[in-house]
Amino acid sequence: MARQDAAEREKAKTIGGLRGLMPFIAPYRVMVILAGCALVLTATVSLILPLAVRRVVDGFETGSTALLDSYFAAALGIAGLLALGTGLRYYLVTRLGERVVADIRMAVFDRMVGMSPSFYERIMTGEVLSRITTDTTLILSVIGSSVSVALRNVLIFIGGLALMLLTSAKLTGLVLLLVPAVIVPIIVLGRRLRKLGRENQDWIANSSGSASEVLSSVQTVQAFTHEEPSKRSFAEVTEQAYLSARKRIGTRALMTVIVIFLVFGGVVGVLWIGARDVRADVMSVGELVQFVIYSVMVAGAVGALSEIWGELQRAAGATERLVELLNASDSVTDPARPRALPQPVTGAIAFEDVTFHYPSRPDQSALDGVSLEVKPGETVALVGPSGAGKSTIIQLLLRFYDPQVGRITLDGVPLNEVARSDFRRHMALVPQDPVIFATTARENIRFGRPDADDSEVEAAARAAAAHEFLMNLPDGYDSQVGERGVMLSGGQKQRVAIARAILRDAPVLLLDEATSALDAESERLVQRAVDELSEGRTTLIVAHRLATVKKADRIVVFDNGRIVAQGSHDALVAEGGLYARLARLQFTEGLAAE
Supply the CATH number for residue 498's domain.
Answer: 3.40.50.300
- Give the pLDDT score at 594: 40
Q: Are residues 411 and 268 in the same domain?
A: no
Position 59 scores a pLDDT of 62
pLDDT over 70 (residue 528): yes
Rounded Cα distance between 288 and 275, Å, is 8
Same domain flag for 483 and 401: no
- Residues 226-259 have pLDDT tens digits of 888 888 888 888 888 888 888 888 888 888 888 7
Q: Please check whether residue 178 lies inside any domain of the structure.
A: yes
Asked if residue 354 and residue 243 are part of one domain, the reply reads no
- Cβ atoms within 10 Å of 421's Cβ, excluding its own: 10
Let me know whether 252 and 380 are in one domain. no
Query: Do the domain assignments include residue 129?
Result: yes
Residue 41: predicted pLDDT: 86
Please report which helix (H) or strand (E) contains residue 273, including its range.
Answer: helix 227-279
> Do 405 and 500 share a domain, yes or no?
no
Tell me the average pLDDT across 19-30: 84
Q: Other CB atoms closer than 10 Å to residue 419's CB: what's the count? A: 15
| Whole-number percent of the chain with pLDDT over 90 | 4
Domain shared by 350 and 272, yes or no:
no
Please write down the long-range contacts of 114-118, taking CB distance under 8 Å and 24 or more positions apart: 114/330, 115/328, 115/330, 116/330, 116/331, 116/332, 116/400, 116/401, 117/395, 117/400, 117/401, 118/330, 118/331, 118/332, 118/358, 118/359, 118/400, 118/401
In a domain, 331, yes or no: no
Separation between Cα atoms, residue 133 and residue 105, nearest integer Å: 8
Q: What is the pLDDT of residues 85-137, one digit of tens each?
A: 888 888 888 888 888 888 888 888 888 888 878 777 777 777 788 788 878 88
d(CA 107, CA 109): 6
| Stretch 546-561: mean pLDDT | 83
Q: Which of 153-162, 179-188, 211-220, 325-334: highest mean pLDDT?
A: 153-162
Total structural domains in the chain? 3
pLDDT of residue 3: 38
Better-predicted residue by pLDDT, 560 or 20: 560
Instruction: Please tell me which residue, 351 or 179, carries the higher pLDDT value.
Output: 351
More confident residue, 458 or 187: 458
pLDDT of residue 355: 92
Q: What is d(CA 444, CA 450) in angstroms, rounded to the nearest whole number?
A: 10
What is the phi/psi pair of residue 428, to 5°?
-120, 130
The CATH code of the domain that includes 165 is: 1.20.1560.10
Instruction: In whole angstroms, give the CA distance from residue 431 to residue 245.
Output: 43
- What does the alpha-carbon distance between residue 286 and residue 468 come to, in Å, rounded to a whole number? 88
The pLDDT of residue 438: 84
- What pLDDT score was predicted for residue 61? 58
Task: Give the pLDDT confidence score for residue 13 in this predicted structure.
Answer: 46
**232 lies in the same domain as 352:** no
For the cut 80, the answer to whether the pLDDT of residue 589 exceeds it is no
**Amino acid identity, residue 284?**
S
Compare 592 and 141 and report the one with higher pLDDT: 141
Q: Is the pTM of this model over 0.85?
A: no
Note the maximum CA span of the chain: 121
**367 in a structural domain:** yes
Find which of 46-55, 406-415, 429-438, 507-516 is predicted with most confidence, using mean pLDDT: 406-415
Residue 60: its pLDDT value, please?
A: 62
Boundary residue ending a domain (326, 357, 386) = 326
Q: Are residues 142 and 156 in the same domain?
A: yes
Integer Cα distance of 255 and 450 in angstroms: 56
Q: Pick from 326, 360, 391: which residue ends a domain?
A: 326
Backbone angles phi, psi at 410, to 5 degrees: -125, 120
pLDDT given at position 15: 65
The better pLDDT of the pair 283, 428 is held by 428
In the prediction, which pLDDT does 518 show? 65
Q: From 300, 326, 352, give the residue that closes a domain.
A: 326
Q: Using CA atoms, how far apart are residues 140 and 131, in angstroms rounded to an integer?
A: 13
Q: Which residues pair with 542 in a beta bridge?
A: 382, 512
Residue 440 and residue 411 in one domain: no
Q: How much of the chain exceeds pLDDT 70, in percent?
A: 91
The pLDDT mean for the chain works out to: 80
State the pLDDT confidence band at 8, using cuts at 50, 70 and 90.
Answer: very low
Can you tell me the distance from the alpha carbon of 553 to that of 477, in angstroms, rounded to the nearest whole number? Answer: 35
Q: What share of the chain is helix, strand, coil (3-state, %, to 5)?
A: 65, 10, 25
The residue ranking higher by pLDDT, 371 or 13, is 371
Asked if residue 141 belongs to a domain, the reply is yes
Can you give the pLDDT at residue 351?
A: 92
Residue 59 DSSP class: H
- Looking at the domain assignment, is residue 531 inside a domain? no
Q: Please check whether residues 180 and 94 belong to one and the same domain.
A: yes
Q: Give the per-residue pLDDT at 90.
A: 84
Please determine, for residue 561, whether its predicted confidence score (pLDDT) is greater than 50.
yes
Chain length of the chain: 594
Is 528 part of any domain? no
CA 505 – CA 513 distance, rounded (Å): 19
418 and 447 housed in the same domain:
no
Pairing of strands 554-559, 538-542: unpaired
User: Would the pLDDT of 413 be above 50?
Assistant: yes
Which range of residues forms the domain containing residue 497? 433-505
Residue 481 sits at φ, ψ, to 5 deg, of -100, 0
In the prediction, which pLDDT does 192 show?
A: 81
Which backbone phi and psi does 409 adopt, to 5 degrees? -125, 155
Domain assignment present for 530: no
* Residue 186 sits in the same domain as residue 250: yes
